[in-house]
Amino acid sequence: MWTYILGPFLALLPKRWRDALFFEKHTNAPRAASLSGLGESAAAIVAMGYWYMYAMTTYVDRGVDMAMSGKAGVVTDQAVAGVALSLWFAHPFTWLLAYFILEGVVRLCSAAFSEMIVGILPLFLFDRIFLNPFRTSTKNRGGESGIRNNPSSVWSTIWERLRIAHSDQVPDGLFFHKSGTDDFLEIAACRRKDDWNPPRVVRFEENFYRLESVSVGSGPRPFRYVLRRLSAGVPGRSVLLYSPTNALTRR
């Protein structure tokens, strides 16, 4: 059922989006993509027919009006029809519909003969231009690579960046507290810290801490990092060095 109802629409999406929606798991992907390509091409052909009738009627009427008013000189019916056809053929919307007809045929053949699922180009370009930069930056942070397969994470990241763009940059807040025999340092920051992913080790002053958790809240310092102090140092290249400027400390 999903193959014939939602499958053709999901097949229009880029591969990353389809994977996030488990397209191939819940549908017969080649069949759904074949129907999607066939539907795209058929819809574009129908739209082309309506567009042809509308455009030709409009252009011919305008040509006849100009001929009747004498503005175009002496013209024949064939000349009016030829000009109207030329205008229709050169119109960008005609070429757009022609592209979708061809794209639908290509997607149909790819799915039917090679089982290769291809989404439509406009959504692919949107994904590459507007969403891929967020995936790249998130991948570089390491622990949040899940955004690559989760569209909701993409919008969360976009919303986060918009919120940061409209907020002032303030010094970090440092809060020291003790729980049992363990000493903890909680850092509240106004910006996300790159590569700070549990269980990375952080060096602050002369002490070493293990990053236990990361959360995002509200307020001027929404990013919260909870670190547990280590009894022994673990020097190495993987250790993050933390040297805040004008940090607000509370013990």
- Give burial (CB, 10 Å; 0-12/13-18/19+) of 231: exposed
19 CB-side CA count, 13 A: 9
What is the rounded radius of gyration, in angstroms, for the C-alpha atoms of the chain?
30
Answer whether residue 143 is part of any domain: yes
Answer whether residue 126 is part of any domain: no
At 71-130, the pLDDT tens digits run 666 667 788 888 889 999 999 999 999 999 999 999 999 888 888 888 898 988 888 888
248: phi then psi, degrees, rounded to nearest 5: -95, 115
Q: State in Å, rounded, how far the first CA of the chain is from the last one.
A: 61
Domain check: are 14 and 103 in the same one? yes
Nearby residues of 16 by Cβ (< 8 Å), 6 or more positions away: 127, 148, 149
Answer whether residue 125 is part of any domain: no
At 24-62, the pLDDT tens digits run 777 888 899 999 999 999 999 999 999 999 999 998 888
Answer whether residue 38 is part of any domain: yes
Domain check: are 42 and 10 in the same one? yes
Domain check: are 181 and 238 in the same one? yes
Domain check: are 44 and 110 in the same one? yes
Domain check: are 26 and 105 in the same one? yes
Q: Report how many domains make up the chain.
A: 3
At 226-245, the pLDDT tens digits run 999 998 766 667 889 998 88
Domain check: are 21 and 91 in the same one? yes
More confident residue, 235 or 171: 171
Confidence check: pLDDT of 148 > 60: no
Is the Cβ–Cβ distance between 158 and 171 less than 8 Å? no
Which residue range forms the structural domain that includes residue 40? 2-119
Q: Which of 26-30, 173-177, 181-185 has the lowest mean pLDDT?
A: 26-30
Domain check: are 82 and 32 in the same one? yes
Q: Rounded to two decimals, what is the model's pTM?
A: 0.53
Is the Cβ–Cβ distance between 209 and 191 less than 8 Å? no
Confidence check: pLDDT of 154 > 70: no
